[in-house]
């Protein structure tokens, strides 16, 4: 999956389920990001924190998505798209 076009397609397909997870589980995710808006913004730049959030979210993805996308690829997606993926959560805390 080195092709940028393939990565973009993957990102578009993962955004909808990820946004659903963030909306449904915001109360569990916010403490991982520090709880408040300012702390959440700072936590977005901490790779270990974002990795922890991605690892929490992976089992919550639909089964077919998990069959197609393995956890390391998903974690990498979240790390590379942290602002886009977690914007809903961070903006809600602000």
Mean pLDDT over all residues of the chain?
83
Q: Is the dihedral of CA 37, 72, 61, 84 positive or negative?
A: positive
67 or 30, which is more confident? 67
Q: Is the confidence at residue 15, as pLDDT, over 50?
A: yes
Question: What pTM was computed for the model?
Answer: 0.79
Reported confidence tier of residue 7, pLDDT bands at 50, 70, 90: low
- CA–CA gap between residue 87 and residue 71 (Å, rounded): 21
9 or 93, which is more confident? 9
């Amino acid at each position: 999956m080195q092709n940028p076009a393939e990565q973009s397609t993957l990102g578009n397909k993962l955004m909808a389920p990820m946004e659903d997870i963030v909306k449904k589980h915001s109360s569990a995710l916010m403490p991982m990001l520090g709880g408040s808006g300012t702390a959440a913004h700072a936590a977005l730049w901490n790779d270990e924190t974002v990795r922890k959030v991605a690892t929490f979210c992976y089992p919550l993805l639909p089964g077919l998505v998990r069959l197609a996308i393995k956890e390391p690829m998903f974690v990498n997606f979240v790390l590379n798209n942290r602002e886009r993926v977690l914007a809903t959560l961070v903006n809600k805390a602000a």
